[in-house]
Amino acid sequence: MRHLTTFFFSRLLGCDIFDARENILGSISDVWVQAAPHNEEEAARPKIAGIIIKTGGEKRHVQFTELQIVKFGTKYKVQCQSLHDVQPELFSDGMLLKANILDKQIVDITGRKLVRVNDIRMVAISNGAYAIAVDVGMEGLLRRIGIEKSVKFIVKLFRGRVSSKYILWDDIEAVDFSNLNIKLSKTQSRLHTLHPSDVADIIEELGKSSKTTVFSSLDLEKAADVLEELEDHEQVHIIENLSVEKAADVLEKMPANEAADIIDRLEDRRAEALLEEMEKETSDEVRELLEYPNTEIGSIMSTDVLSFNQHSAVKDVLMQIRQQKPDMELLYNFFIVDSKERLVATVSLRDLLISEPDTLLKQIMKKKPISVYDEDPLDSLAEIVSKYNLLAVPVIYEDEVLAGMVVVDDILEDLIGKRRTK
């Protein structure tokens, strides 16, 4: 029983399609596959859902029954029982193999990079035809140019071999929908499994419309993380191309100082619209940060801090942290403030962890902490951080009220940025 035929998409293109009585119905110009899978198996090998055929200059979207593909060397004979025309809207959750995959860039999820598709490997079994892998190697390229056989022959004479490289379908993500009006669906996107910096690198290399498509497919949390990792002008491009509502939602998820950085680079009108749209609490913070010139510490400080009263017990503080589930950065240093919100001491995570639950903060806190003023010059920070081995430096206003903190990552970023522009 030989019901399994593997074939290449590039060779299928342009093939005539016959009906049961050997009449030519048209030639294949593109193939629809399901893009929104219902289960894992469908995601691993999307089924051919329909074909676009060309009959005398006219393009028709069709569905078929009992598709058969027979190979004669490199030529294929495609036959089906019957065809019927359908509206293209029927495939609204599908994608086109030629328009969206072949010759386009796709994301290689395991390799965490963009690759270009030279061909698509497909398989036909009794209940339908499926796309199973993309060919991104030299072999596929030579096959497309039509010199695969001759080059292979020559290379073989020299005892070499032409490298072939396939990536299985469940290890790729199509991202180029620029010539088709469909959106990357959120639930299926495998991009979620990648680290935010990898997604950012990929977005930076994509064409403009794909950048927005890919970014929009991320959920808010991921989107915020990715946005943070993008280069300055890419951040601006993304924010400008999102709707105000969506952009505001993403910015709210970011640390206020990062959001302020981005908003600072936008046009005034757009920036104002975003600030209006954001929740008041967040936008007030951002506005405050925007007031600082780029040379002052205030411009990179984070206003999210954990501050406590010195009479609190360690167990209560830990409980509070457990409930709030703050970002890692917030745990770099805890601050003790008095009734007027003035900074009086700091407590480290270490001290908190090794203390008995009933210990009061004032017993373990370090008084007279190192701190900087919000209007101090940025340049002074690196020295302080390295001299006192700090992960986060408290920032205070002139009247000693705690304004926020600067974490070491942001200082590094500032330093690297400066070196790059030099």
Partner 1 sequence: MFLAILGPGIITGSVDNDAGGITTYSVAGALYGYNLIWTLIPSFIVLMVIQEMNARMGIVTGKGLADLIRENAGVKITFFIFIGLLIADIGNTTTEFAGVAGSMEVLGISKYISVPIVGIIIWVLVVKGNYKIAEKVFLIFSLSLLVYVISALMGKPQWGEIGKSIIRPDIKMNSTTLTMVLGIVGTTIAPWMQFYMQSSVIEKGLKIKQYKFVMIDIIVGCVATVVVAFFIMVACASNLHDHGIVINEAKDAAIALKPLAGNISSFVFAFGLFIASIFSATILPLATAFYVCEAFGFEAGIDKKWSEAPEFYNLYTIILALAVAIILWPNAPLIGISLWSQVINAILLPVVLICMILLVNDKKIMGKYVNKPITNIVGWSSIILLIGLSLLLLVMPLFKN
Q: Is 233 in the site for partner 1 (CB under 8 A)?
A: yes
Amino acid in the structure at residue 262:
I
Q: Is 113 in the site for partner 1 (CB under 8 A)?
A: yes
Query: Quick one: which segment of 208-216, 351-359, 389-397, 406-414 binds partner 1 (CB under 8 A)?
Result: 208-216
Between the alpha carbon of residue 216 and those of residues 65, 174, 222, 267, the distances in Å are 37, 14, 10, 21
Minimum CB–partner distance for residue 116 and partner 1 (Å):
3
Single out the residue of 34, 63, 105, 371 in contact with partner 1 (rule: CB under 8 A).
Answer: 105
Compute the distance between CA of residue 297 and CA of residue 320 in angstroms, rounded to an integer.
29
Query: Quick one: which segment of 98-106, 249-257, 378-386, 389-397 binds partner 1 (CB under 8 A)?
Result: 98-106
Single out the residue of 46, 63, 96, 118 in contact with partner 1 (rule: CB under 8 A).
Answer: 118
Minimum CB–partner distance for residue 115 and partner 1 (Å):
6
Binding residues for partner 1, total number by CB under 8 A: 25
Apex 185 CA angle, 182 and 190, nearest 5:
125
Q: Is 160 in the site for partner 1 (CB under 8 A)?
A: no
Query: Quick one: which segment of 15-23, 77-85, 151-159, 230-238 binds partner 1 (CB under 8 A)?
Result: 230-238
Looking at the DSSP assignment, which residues form a beta bridge with residue 84? 63
- Is beta strand 402-407 parallel, antiparallel or unpaired with respect to 392-396? antiparallel
Closest CA to 231 of 375, 30, 416, 369: 416
Query: Quick one: which segment of 26-34, 116-124, 300-308, 362-370 binds partner 1 (CB under 8 A)?
Result: 116-124
End-to-end CA distance of the chain: 69
Compute the distance between CA of residue 112 and CA of residue 223 in angstroms, rounded to an integer.
17
Nearer to partner 1, 176 or 410 (CB): 176
Nearer to partner 1, 61 or 112 (CB): 112
DSSP string of 237-261, one letter each residue = HHHHHS-HHHHHHHHHHS-HHHHHH
Q: Is 146 in the site for partner 1 (CB under 8 A)?
A: yes
E strand intervals along 11-126: 16-18, 24-34, 48-55, 58-65, 68-72, 75-79, 82-85, 94-96, 105-108, 113-116, 119-125
Cβ contacts of 125 within 8 Å, gap of 6 or more: 3, 4
Q: Report which DSSP code applies to 56.
A: T
Q: Is 206 in the site for partner 1 (CB under 8 A)?
A: yes
Q: Go through 50-71 and write b for each residue having 16 or more CB atoms within 10 A of its CB, e for each that does not.
A: bbbbeeeeeebbbbbeebbbee
Nearer to partner 1, 52 or 286 (CB): 52
Q: Is 237 in the site for partner 1 (CB under 8 A)?
A: yes
Q: Is 202 in the site for partner 1 (CB under 8 A)?
A: no
Minimum CB–partner distance for residue 302 and partner 1 (Å):
27
Single out the residue of 45, 121, 211, 222 in contact with partner 1 (rule: CB under 8 A).
Answer: 211
Single out the residue of 70, 90, 125, 145 in contact with partner 1 (rule: CB under 8 A).
Answer: 145
**Contact between residue 31 and residue 12 where contact means Cβ atoms under 8 Å apart:** yes
* DSSP H stretches of helix in 86-195: 138-145, 148-157
Compute the distance between CA of residue 177 and CA of residue 25 in angstroms, rounded to an integer.
29
The token pair at 60 is 């028709």
Compute the distance between CA of residue 352 and CA of residue 322 in angstroms, rounded to an integer.
13
Q: Is 168 in the site for partner 1 (CB under 8 A)?
A: no
Query: Quick one: which segment of 52-60, 66-74, 172-180, 372-380 binds partner 1 (CB under 8 A)?
Result: 172-180
Nearer to partner 1, 266 or 385 (CB): 266
Minimum CB–partner distance for residue 50 and partner 1 (Å):
21
Single out the residue of 17, 45, 104, 250 in contact with partner 1 (rule: CB under 8 A).
Answer: 104
Q: Is 209 in the site for partner 1 (CB under 8 A)?
A: yes
Nearer to partner 1, 269 or 325 (CB): 269
Looking at the DSSP assignment, which residues form a beta bridge with residue 164? none
Minimum CB–partner distance for residue 415 and partner 1 (Å):
18
Q: Is 208 in the site for partner 1 (CB under 8 A)?
A: yes
Element (H, E) at 392: strand 392-396
Q: Is 116 in the site for partner 1 (CB under 8 A)?
A: yes
Q: Is 178 in the site for partner 1 (CB under 8 A)?
A: yes
Q: Is 179 in the site for partner 1 (CB under 8 A)?
A: yes
Q: Where on the chain is the footprint of partner 1 (CB under 8 A)?
A: 103-105, 113, 115-118, 136, 141, 144-146, 176, 178-179, 206-209, 211, 231, 233-234, 237
